[in-house]
Amino acid sequence: MIEIGDFVPTFELKDQRGRQCFSGADLFAGDPRAYLFCPAGAGELTDKVARAFVDAADALRRAGGWAFLIMAEPDAVVGQFSGRDLDPVRLLSDPSGATLGAFSLPPTTLVDGQPQVVAIVLNANAQVDSTWASADLEELVEPVLERLGDLAYRPHPVAAGANPPVLIIPGVVDTELCRVLVDLWQKPVPVYRKGEGEANPEAMANATTDFKVETDSHVARLAQYHILDPAINRRLDRAFLKRVLPEIKKAYQCDIKQHEQFKILRYSAAEGGFLAAHRDNPTPETRHRLFTMTCNLGCTEFEGGELRFPEYGPQLFRVDPGAGIVWSTALLHELTPVESGERYALGTHLF
């Protein structure tokens, strides 16, 4: 099942000019695009949707987006536009339904006996931004065109200085899961306390259910909720697999095989929450770590608590709720003191 924030499968199909069209081509990369899946039995609706997008080609070109109509019964529609250059609209033939299947879509979906067209809109980085499903032409075309226009980047000069080599990934954790994790933190579980030394490492290593570790020292003041719940971990693993690993692979050409236990981190202003400058791989026990990832869980108001990489400048990082930020464990980093409220984040180390 495709969800908001996912990176989608690529596909290669013939277009109305008989050319092979590869959805992952650089020609389309960096622009928002819409995939409109026209299932078997939707002949009349498919024809109307195709005509509407062909008519809107100039507006779509100005907006900087692309529209791909993926048709299970393409013959009648493609015949009308055979050989025509319709950029930025591509009419694609998928008579076998293989592409529908790759997107986990059924061969046809009926609502009140009418087949629906499913629209999946991707942002410029090919993440799912939004979806529609309707048998009504107006409910598909105008919203999709409007959303493509909203997502298109407007290039502008940016004064660039030294910048920490970090990767920001929007939408790693969806809004509902953010709330689930913040609520989970409130759950009563065993608590281990750390000061200047380790607190009962054997008990923590052998734990089979969730637990918290509260740290109060000269280098850190925070509480960490260790997630052992299988159902929650399955949801997090899915997000990690679908939304984080592809970006690390693309940005760093690195194959991540594993991650450490997911933790919910809470920094509270009432407790003087902070994290002093440190690296995440300084010891023989941590040298296997390649990257650190944290996701802002939002859900609460707070001031302060920004991430900083002091070797690379004064920038303070605060990403949108649900977004992840990934950096090399060799980078010196700190979390500035939380001045009001509570800051919740999801964190793990990758290797």
Residue range of the domain that includes 293: 167-350
**Residues 30 and 146 placed together within one structural domain of the fold:** yes
Task: Flag whether pLDDT at 187 surpasses 80.
Answer: yes
H or E stretch at 192 = strand 191-194
What are the φ/ψ torsions at residue 269 (nearest 5 degrees)?
-65, -35
Q: Where does the pLDDT of residue 323 fall: very low under 50, low under 70, confident under 90, or very high at 90 and above?
A: very high
Burial classification of residue 149, based on how many CB atoms lie within 10 Å of its CB (0-12 exposed, 13-18 middle, 19 or more buried): middle
The tens digit of pLDDT for each residue in 267-306 reads 999 999 999 999 999 999 999 999 999 999 998 899 999 9
Q: Do 103 and 248 fall within a single domain?
A: no
pLDDT band at 198 (very low <50, low <70, confident <90, very high): low
Clarify whether residues 199 and 337 are in a common domain. yes
Average pLDDT of the chain? 93
Q: Which residues pair with 265 in a beta bridge?
A: 224, 345
Does 236 share its domain with 326?
yes
**Residue 158: pLDDT over 90:** no
| H/E stretch holding 20 | strand 20-22
Do residues 274 and 223 both lie within one domain?
yes
Interval 262-277: pLDDT, tens: 999 999 999 999 999 9
Question: Would you tell me how many other CB atoms lie within 10 Å of the CB of residue 48?
Answer: 16
Give residue-wise pLDDT tens across range 41-93.
888 888 999 999 999 999 899 888 999 999 988 877 877 888 778 889 999 99
In this structure, the answer to whether residues 193 and 328 fall within a common structural domain is yes
Mean per-residue pLDDT for 119-139? Answer: 94
Percentage of the chain beyond pLDDT 70 is 97
pLDDT of residue 109: 65
**Spatial separation of the C-alpha atoms in residues 331 and 317, rounded to whole Å:** 14
Looking at mean pLDDT, say which of 30-44, 204-218, 254-268 comes out highest. Answer: 254-268
Q: In whole angstroms, what is the distance from residue 319 CA to residue 80 CA?
A: 47
Statement to judge: residues 273 and 182 lie in one domain: yes
Output the pLDDT for position 179.
97
Which of 90, 121, 151 is the last residue before a domain boundary?
151
108 confidence band (pLDDT: 50, 70, 90): low
- 2 domain residue, yes or no: no
Q: Which of 150-154, 207-211, 243-247 has the lowest mean pLDDT?
A: 150-154
Angle at 127 between CA 125 and CA 129, to 5 degrees: 115
Cα distances (Å, whole numbers) of residue 338 to 9, 155, 293, 295, 335: 40, 34, 20, 16, 8
**Total domains in the fold of the chain:** 2
Residue 327 near residue 163, CB atoms below 8 Å: no
Kindly state whether residue 292 falls inside one of the protein's structural domains.
Answer: yes
Residues 130 and 72 both lie in one domain: yes
